[in-house]
A and B are shown apart, each in its own frame.
Chain A
């Protein structure tokens, strides 16, 4: 009994203690975490002053909303970019293929922070894009787009060659093969990694605070600057990000499970 609460059985048949195990182990983790936090804070001798931060709650809330908005639009745009360059990597037109690879390697090989600074001070300046929110969405989309390209490419390659063969044998054109055979399968397969990418996007967008985009992290920094209540400003920040990413993480797991059984 005690053993089966702590040891996860190899086969899940006849696992009656599943619910109990989750409850007991979650409780243990929470207790340990609470103790660690309590210990750390008690050593810190920190006097919490939530009132000052409470007055700035609207700043935090609007920052939270801005992060959700920026991440959402960046995700949409990055899926478009990712599809274009994901296909680009398989293009028979050499310049397009090489451009796609260069773009993906350049983005994936450099820190987001550097990309933000270069794009904001050089590229956006040169093209006269003044609105820093637009700039923020473009940067995040270009950044996430490189990762989405790889997701799309892997998705396309996961469709078995034998299916392309049978599409060919039936007389489908290249366009029809992508439209009716490949994409419908790719979309369901890339949903889980795409959801994961969205969670990363939410966290990564915090770096936009360096170009003074008033997103969640920037608003926490401002509250801190005004109140000098550092922990009271950043603890809600951590909780806010968790509130966004945890549901996505759960959703990703669900989607993964669903689509492993579909094939």
Chain B
């Protein structure tokens, strides 16, 4: 995927969350954004997902400009898979319906075909026995895997994941990370915010380190993780990798 951000700024009240963010990425398969909490990672991700309107600046994705008006953004979001920290499944629908509803209503897929696509996905990720369950009856790991299935069912141009394992018990983290890795190996393009540093290192082919609304370090993982010159980044790794 190609992503070009130019002079993106975003305020929440007096808080300047994104400061003049510029980025130029070509042929990136998986972009990982790391950094301390409150550094603007999630906001940047939401701008790229078309969920947040920046104050100014421009965004180009795969050669097309993303215009920040709701009608255009809705069209754009149809081609972006989004996975949230808190799963955000629809609680009144079964696992299967969570996947088929957007296919049928947003993408106009016939009900039979939508069902077939959903079942195929659920079977592939060993979720088939749970297809008729409501989210409240599923474990956190299962919910997040269903949410991932829902996001890739629409065959998106790329997948955006906002701390997909932060709300999970450690015992469920592995199954979700395994699934993301499997998707990565199938050449699904990803943009991921995470606090799992080992996973970020292994998965990414490009890393952004954000602090205080600015990208303070970027590059291939080997460089950012192992050879950074930036004192702030070094300190951050010292802290998070201490235990």
Contacts and interface: CB of A to CB of B under 8 A. Distances in A.
Interface of A: 162-163, 165-166, 168-173, 176, 180-181, 184-185, 188, 262-263
Interface of B: 49, 51, 74-75, 77-78, 80, 82, 84, 86, 88-92, 101-102, 105-106, 134, 136, 150, 154
A251 to B, nearest CB: 21
Interface of B is mostly: loop
Contact of A170 (B91, B102, B136): B102
Contact of B77 (A162, A168, A188, A263): A168
B73 to A, nearest CB: 9
Given A162-B84, A162-B88, A188-B92, A169 B77 contact: yes
A184 B91 CA distance: 10
B88 A180 contact: no
A170 B160 CA distance: 12
Contacts of B92: 184-185, 188
A49 B207 CA distance: 92
B84 A166 contact: yes
Contacts of B84: 162, 165-166, 169
Contacts of B78: 170-171
Given A169-B82, A176-B105, A185 B91 contact: yes
Contact of B74 (A162, A166, A171): A171
B106 A162 contact: no
A18 B206 CA distance: 64
A180 B102 CA distance: 10
Nearest to B102: A170
28 contacts: A162-B84, A162-B86, A162-B88, A163-B88, A163-B91, A166-B84, A166-B89, A168-B51, A168-B74, A169-B49, A169-B77, A169-B80, A169-B82, A169-B84, A170-B78, A170-B102, A170-B106, A170-B154, A171-B77, A171-B106, A172-B102, A172-B105, A172-B106, A173-B74, A180-B105, A185-B92, A262-B136, A263-B91
Contacts of A173: 74
B157 to A, nearest CB: 13
A166 B82 contact: yes
B11 to A, nearest CB: 20
A169 B134 CA distance: 21
B136 to A, nearest CB: 6
A166 B105 contact: no
Given A176-B105, A180-B105, A188-B92, A170 B86 contact: no
A188 B92 CA distance: 10
A74 B136 CA distance: 36
A169 B154 CA distance: 12
A169 B105 CA distance: 14
